[in-house]
Amino acid sequence: MAAGSEAGHPEARRSVAGNIAFGAGALLTLATATLGAFAAVALPGWTVAPGPLSGVVPDDGHNALVVGAIAVGGLTGLMLPVILFGMVRGNEANGGGTPRLGPVAAARKVLAVLVFDIWLLAVAFLVAQLGWVLPAQLTTVAAVFAVGFSWMPLAMVPWERFGLGEGFFTFRGSSASRRAK
């Protein structure tokens, strides 16, 4: 029997507590992603229908902005809790565990999420312009593909030249970051 697998050991209790904390964190993250997507859907209705963008976006392009807003709300709602959990999870030293995310690194990651949100909205706005020549259903399908694959050009940018390479876009525990050590 493995060490710590018995109910009387403190390691087993920490494991159960860790599992409960992980489950609560996962539920919170999924809830914020879902609520963020629903909340962001209100943005195109507020800015397009009677708002300042009503003359710029055709009627058949409104769904493209909704697709972009869902992506922005879902991404932001997913990433902000993950970044905040990274600030409190881990330990101070780079020793055996995962390092805690510092405030400057967290701010840079939040800024990267916001820049990507602006990118997604710009892509959705450009696809919405197809509503001048295509019906609403085709514009919506084009928006799903355009917004869904809009991260690909950003993946080709050499982020290391801007000082945003190693450690900025890498995930914890990824095999690439382990090989670099």
Domain ranges of the chain: 13-180
CA angle 14, 18, 19 (to 5 degrees): 120
Q: What are the start-end ranges of the H helices in the chain?
A: 10-47, 62-88, 103-128, 136-148, 151-155, 175-180
Q: Which is more confidently placed, 139 or 158? A: 139
169-to-56, 90, 172, 173 alpha-carbon distances in Å: 35, 18, 10, 12
Summarised one tens digit per residue, pLDDT across range 40-61 is: 777 666 666 666 666 777 888 8
Summarised one tens digit per residue, pLDDT across range 107-135 is: 888 898 888 889 998 999 999 999 889 89
Q: How far apart are the first and last CA of the chain?
A: 33
